[in-house]
Amino acid sequence: MAPQLTTTSYAVLAQVAVHPWSTYELAQQRVRYFRYVWPRAESAIYREVKRLSSMGLLDGNKEWVGKRARTVYSITDKGREALREWLATPVSPFAMDFEALIRLFVAPLGTKEQIVTTLTQVRDDVREMLRFGGEVKQEFLDGISVTQDQVYIRALAVDFFISLLNTVGAWAERTLAEIESWDDLSPDGKNERALEKIRELPVLTPESVERTPVPPRTQLHPRRR
């Protein structure tokens, strides 16, 4: 039995499908590809290319720079076939890790300053990610991207990335402003105002709210596969 491929496997395959890379480049350049949508440890990449090449999905070529070897991987027909088959399987849902929200829940245990610091950090992280998104955008506009011939696809992803980050950034800003306007972190007199705000939140799910017998998911959704 062939060992099971994970989404990480397919992410690596997808990146090598663009053009051949050495493992080192692959691990570094993931930044330009999947760091923000499928973040995995560097060592996982090194492990993965070996597995994939032992399964014949990647083709590893040893090159020499002086006395030091490096392996350059390219995708095989079998690898492309594996990707093709994967596209027919169910996708795993959007998932996030957002520690700041957990901190928000217990914020009243700490100081106002602490939660402000946390949210400022979130805002700055988002700015940094957006800066990167702007870079990618500019590369496409300048026509110098490695995937220039695929703009019509990549544009959809850049759209996603920038929209999402703008949303998170805007939330961080308004939440920061709200908390700054408080005297302290106690509930005193804040709950009425909060209910007003919560009432205005747009949960616009016209159809699905009407009648969709969604089975209650008892299982946590699978994050990888």
Partner DNA sequence: ATAAAGTACTCCAATTGAGAGTATAGGGCC
Partner DNA sequence: GGCCCTATACTCTCAATTGGAGTACTTTAT
Q: Which positions from 42 through 81 interact with its own copies, judged by CB under 8 A?
A: 42, 80
Q: How far is the CB of 47 from DNA (least distance, A)?
A: 6
Do 22 and 12 contact (CB within 8 A), yes or no? no
DSSP 115-183: HHHHHHHHHHHHHHHHHHHHHHHHHHHTT--TTGGGHHHHHHHHHHHHHHHHHHHHHHHHHHHHHHT-S
Q: Of 14, 20, 25, 136, which lies in the binding site for DNA, with binding defined by CB under 7 A?
A: 25
Using rule CB under 7 A, residue 30 touches DNA:
no
- Number of chain residues interacting with DNA (CB under 7 A): 31
Q: Which does 14 bind (CB under 5 to 8 A by kind): its own copies, DNA, none?
A: its own copies
C-alpha–C-alpha distance, residues 124 and 118, integer Å: 10
Using rule CB under 7 A, residue 40 touches DNA:
yes
**Among 48-56, 57-65, 66-74, 136-144, the segment contacting its own copies (CB under 8 A):** 136-144
Q: How far is the CB of 174 from its own copies (least distance, A)?
A: 8
Q: Which does 144 bind (CB under 5 to 8 A by kind): its own copies, DNA, none?
A: none
C-alpha–C-alpha distance, residues 147 and 222, integer Å: 30
Q: β-pairing, 58-65 with 21-22?
A: unpaired
In one letter, which amino acid is 95?
A: A
Residues lying near DNA in the complex (CB under 7 A) are found at 3-4, 6, 8, 22-25, 28, 39-44, 46-48, 50, 65-71, 219-220, 222-224
